[in-house]
Structure 1
Amino acid sequence: MARNLHVVMLPWSAFGHIIPFFHLSVSLARNGVHVTFVSTPRNIERLPKFPPDVSNSRLDLVKLPLPQLEGNPLPEGAEASVDIPFEKIQYQKVAFDGLKHPLEQLIISESPDWIIIDFVSHWMVEIARGIPIAYFCVFSAASNVFLGPPESLSNDGVKRLRPSSESLTVQPPWVDFPSSLALHGHESAHFYAGFYGDNASGISDACRVAKVLQSCDLVAFRSCMEYEGKYLKLYEKLIHKKVIPVGLLPPDRPEGGTSRSESFQWLDGQEPKSVVFVGFGSECKLTKEQVHEIAHGLELSGLHFLWALRRPIWAAHEDEVLPDGFVERTCSRGIVCMGWVPQMEILAHPSIGASLFHAGWGSVIEILQFGHCLVILPLIIDQPLNARMLVERGLAIEVERRGDGSFTGNEISTALRLAMVSDEGRELRANARDAAKMFGNHELHQQYARKFVEYLKNNVRKKTLD
């Protein structure tokens, strides 16, 4: 008797990874796949609710406790990178690697047809028992092209092709078409140390990616040919493995009418496309200077804004976060929401016209499906590379920075006004509206998901499916 395809999903414990894995899991479940989604207990508890058309029978959530480390270097109860200071994330990787044995027992018990992993789980091939492995990359294809083939990611390849942070400031030699794929000087040193450098886990992130690429059977991207076709094709040539775009997995559009908080009542009173949504998520830890310069820029711009701002660790209380008098001076045209906000519902509101954010790939997808202008201030990991691509395509304005990466309110204000109200920004605004036709095309991205499922079904090694 034939049965449904069964996959095990294992994301890295950062919500910028967990949420795309969850969205892919939902997409697979909607296409008849039985999904076992594995993470730690607190991370599972913080997942979004299942959509009404996805049941527990198709999508199982499995909690595996995060192993405790000797000396307890991680904060109590910390299971995701958002819970952990940046310098201690290396210890989180040590703990995550400790999931190898319980995962092996789970794989023996579940006997899935495919295992879909993130970049951290380089050891999966050792416990997969011949089950095919897919590497689902939550970053853009362009960002991965920038990193290069497996041989450029470890040992002699790094010494030869990426000898220093300066090598990251020019277009990679393997990109054979004009591209702005490169880091700025102030970005490259931090990226080089974090990606190629040693850490407490004993293996660099670059080596993890290399091992995953060498051991996997295919690489899946949260992308589509319409946006990244030339990069997807080039990456397949670079790694000599099957590369499959699974679509952009845009989150379901909110139904509307469910959130009537004070912030939505305020939005209801604003003109269409007149408000800037400002949000830097949970992974980017803004400094006090950065928060104050963003505030200064919003004030200088004269534009209406809604700012979703989490209390930073450097502020003991919420009233210590913003510059003195900022709220009072801007209350007639702006609102600051401390803590979590329903971002998708806010982005869907007709008064929103632009977003000032970090250029994270998931946020790019969320915002562009509504056709909003992008004003970008990239801070970490892949964000600078996404920023270069968006600017190259005429979809974003990047805030100008000094050589050391700092910026002032003047640069924030200039970028915001250029995107929102200036004549020079007309083409940008038109491009954003056009992009929404592709980024927000749910049927297009569902087609990608269906093709991905067909490939998985047709390439099961252990079992035969009807």
Structure 2
Amino acid sequence: MTESKLEIVMFPWLAFGHLIPFMNLSNELAKRGHKISFLLPKNAEIRLEKLNHYPNLIKLHKLTIPHVDGLPYGAETTADVRGSLESLLATAFDELYDEIKSFLQNLKPHFIFFDFAYWIPDLALEIGGIKTLCYKVVCPAISSIALIRSPVKTTFMASTAAELVKPPPGYPSTTVVLRESEAKLLSSLFHEYGKGVTFYERLKKGMTGCDAIGMETCREIEGTFCDYIATQFEKPVLYTGPVLAEPTKGPLEEHGLSDWLEKFQAGSLVFCAFGSQMILEKKQFQQLVLGFELTELPFLLVVKPPQGTNSVEEAFPEGFKERVQEKGLILDCWVPQLEILSHKSVGCFVTHCGYGSMWESLALCDCQLVLLPCSVDHILNARLMEQQLKVGIEVEKDENDLFTKENLCKAVKCVMDKDSQIGCLVKENHMKWKELLSSPGFTSNYIDNFIKELHGLLVEKI
């Protein structure tokens, strides 16, 4: 049974932060001979096609995302819409129900992997013969805090920040938690995210109804959180380990970055990237760029234009561009993050602590880490990295969750100063975790065990 090949459908949420991890896992499964049908929006095909290393086994099936009033025409992923419109995109996503039902009825795969499509478990039961795995590509800490904590009697909004910040009963950690000012961010979980469903309901229903929960993590780092989730949802939690794409050499030349990076001494440059969805307010953007200037170190910043602006240059502080033009480069386009992190000139990575960036920084680079999270799940990732793993320094914020140029500069200097005790400590810890995560067989063993557990689920009566 364990030698038989699986047929799996991948149906991730319409965001590249979900599509890419699902593709990375698809490659690992296809490498072992398993067949994948990958469901994705049309406008994501070009980017995902480049990441498909086994096109003979991974078949991309393009979906036509229905138009919903209020969405820009042609919007198919979160990269195409403002955050305020994501709920409408989720409505369009849910309207794929009939198309997905027809596809599954015709294919009859062994498994469908999903994350935001909370209706998949019921659909699979209706069709019969299909197992469902809710595959989480965010930190288990957010699942164990936000999804286990049910809203109190009236509404979540009626709770005080002090109540929300208190860990739920049996929670496995006292360090990876939110401060009172940050706990207010959890209120967004109870806003509508799709027609007639909140974000909280969408995630919890999927995890409650599925046959098993998959986690893109390893037991050595987040095992206690996964054990807690398994206990609360009373179902198996399967580990894939951190599934990452391998860096390549070509993209730096394609983007014209190679020559620019070569100008600087080894380990001297600060690289900052905030992902495809994080958009700063203009004042925070200005504090960010002024903070890098204050370090007096060369820097490469990749960031979206701030709110209310059409370009990053439009938001530059007066005289900033002229002052930093020799050693500062700011881009608002996609760049090959892994290849940049692997470049010898990069000595510090200022990260928003997205889950993919967290694993890339831990397992694939030698840079010193400075943590600057904004959303609730990224904050929890930062707490894990600073307080439990002790591999980076989080930028200090005020009571309104805002950072200053001085505090950003202070954090960068703290890890980059060769005489800094904290800098030496986080570097030593980072190297220990990198050695483990990149050790021979570490990733492949997790994937092999994951596949064995999938076969085990098939043995159970469907």
Verify same fold: TM over 0.5: yes
Q: 1:304 to 1:445 in 2, by over 3 A?
A: same
1:258-288 superposed Cα distances (whole Å, 9 cap, x missing partner): 6265422121232222111111111101111
Aligned: 1:429 with 2:413: no
Question: How far apart in 2 are the matches of 1:83 and 1:459?
Answer: 37
The answer as to 2:314 corresponding to 1:314 is: no
Are 2:217 and 1:223 aligned? yes
Q: Structure 1: how far apart are the matches of 2:323 and 2:83?
A: 34
Alignment of 1:75-86 (within 5 A): 75-86=72-83
- The equivalent residue for 2:278 is 284
Identify the range of structure 1 (328-337 vs 235-244) with the bigger mean alpha-carbon deviation.
328-337
2:141 alignment partner in structure 1: 142
* Superposition deviation, residue 442 in structure 1: 6.5
Shift of 1:139: 0.8
1:115-130 → structure 2 map (5 Å cutoff): 115-118=112-115, 120-128=116-124, 129-130=127-128
Alpha-carbon distance, 1:3 to partner: 6.3
CA distance in 2 between partners of 1:254 and 1:358 (Å): 23
Whether the 8 Å contact between 2:167 and 2:177 is mirrored in structure 1 is yes
Greater RCO (CA < 8 Å, at least 6 residues apart): 1
Equivalent runs, 1:19-98 vs 2, <5 Å: 19-47=20-48, 49-50=50-51, 54-69=53-68, 72-98=69-95
Q: What amino acid maps onto 1:358 in structure 2?
A: H
Residue 101 of structure 2: aligned partner: 104
Question: Which residue is equivalent to 2:231?
Answer: 237
> For residues 426 and 252 of structure 2, what CA distance do their matches in structure 1 show?
32
Contact kept? 1:153, 1:210, Cα under 8 Å: no
Letter in 2 for 1:206: Y
- Provide the rounded CA distance (Å) in 1 between the counterparts of 2:83 and 2:27: 30
Distance 1:161 1:410 in 2: 34
How far apart are the structure 1 equivalents of 2:156 and 2:294?
Answer: 47
Alpha carbons of structure 1 residues 437 and 268: separation in structure 2 relative to 1, 3 Å? same
Q: What is the CA–CA distance in structure 2 between the aligned matches of 1:228 and 1:140, rounded to whole Å?
A: 8
- Structure 1 pair 161/315, CA: closer, same or farther in 2 (3 Å)? closer
Q: Are residues 85 and 260 of structure 1, via their aligned partners in 2, closer, same or farther at CA, if it must alter by over 3 Å? A: closer
Q: Are residues 243 and 257 of structure 1, via their aligned partners in 2, closer, same or farther at CA, if it must alter by over 3 Å?
A: closer
1:424-446 CA deviation, whole Å, 9 max, x = no partner? 32111222222221333463112
Structure-to-structure mapping, 1:27-426, within 5 angstroms:
27-47=28-48, 49-50=50-51, 54-69=53-68, 72-118=69-115, 120-128=116-124, 129-130=127-128, 131-149=130-148, 152-153=149-150, 163-176=159-172, 178-192=173-187, 194-199=188-193, 201-255=195-249, 259=253, 261-312=255-306, 314-369=308-363, 370-392=365-387, 393-421=389-417, 422-424=419-421, 425-426=423-424
What displacement does 1:338 show?
Answer: 3.5
Q: State how far apart, in whole Å, the 1-side matches of 2:242 and 2:24 are.
A: 10
Deviates more, 1:208-217 or 1:302-311: 302-311
CA–CA distance in structure 2, aligned partners of residues 372 and 308 of structure 1: 17
For 1:329, the aligned partner's letter is R
Instruction: Give, as a single letter, the amino acid of the residue that structure 2 aligns with 1:344.
Output: L
Q: For residues 231 and 80 of structure 2, what CA distance do their matches in structure 1 show?
A: 38
Q: In structure 1, the residue corresponding to 2:253 is in which secondary structure?
A: coil
Alpha-carbon distance, 1:135 to partner: 0.6
Task: Decide whether the 8 Å contact of 1:355 with 1:374 is kept in 2.
Answer: yes
Task: Give the Å deviation of 1:162.
Answer: 9.2
Higher alpha-carbon deviation: 181-190 or 286-295: 181-190
* TM-score (norm: length of structure 1): 0.91
SS of 1:335's equivalent in the other structure is strand
Higher mean Cα deviation, 55-64 or 304-313?
A: 304-313
Change (3 A) 1:310 1:257: closer
Q: Distance in 2 between matches of 1:135 and 1:87?
A: 25
Contact kept, 8 Å, 1:113 with 1:463, in 2: the verdict is: no
Q: Which segment drifts farther, 1-10 or 245-254?
A: 1-10
- The letter for the 1-side match of 2:120 is M
- Pair 457,199 (structure 1): closer, same or farther in 2 beyond 3 Å: closer
- Whether the 8 Å contact between 2:280 and 2:307 is mirrored in structure 1 is no
Distance 1:430 1:191, change over 3 A: same
Question: 2: CA distance between counterparts of 1:343 and 1:160?
Answer: 37
State how far apart, in whole Å, the 2-side matches of 1:257 and 1:206 are: 38
Match of 1:460, SS state, is: helix
Q: Which runs of 5+ in 2 are unaligned?
A: none
Q: What fraction of aligned residue pairs are identical, expressed as a percent?
A: 28
- Paired residue type of 2:87: Q
The 1:94/1:165 distance shift into structure 2, 3 A limit, reads farther
**What amino acid maps onto 1:398 in structure 2?**
E
**Paired residues of 1:154 and 1:206 also in contact (CA < 8 A):** no
The normalised TM-score by structure 2 is 0.92
**Post-superposition offset of 1:462:** 9.6
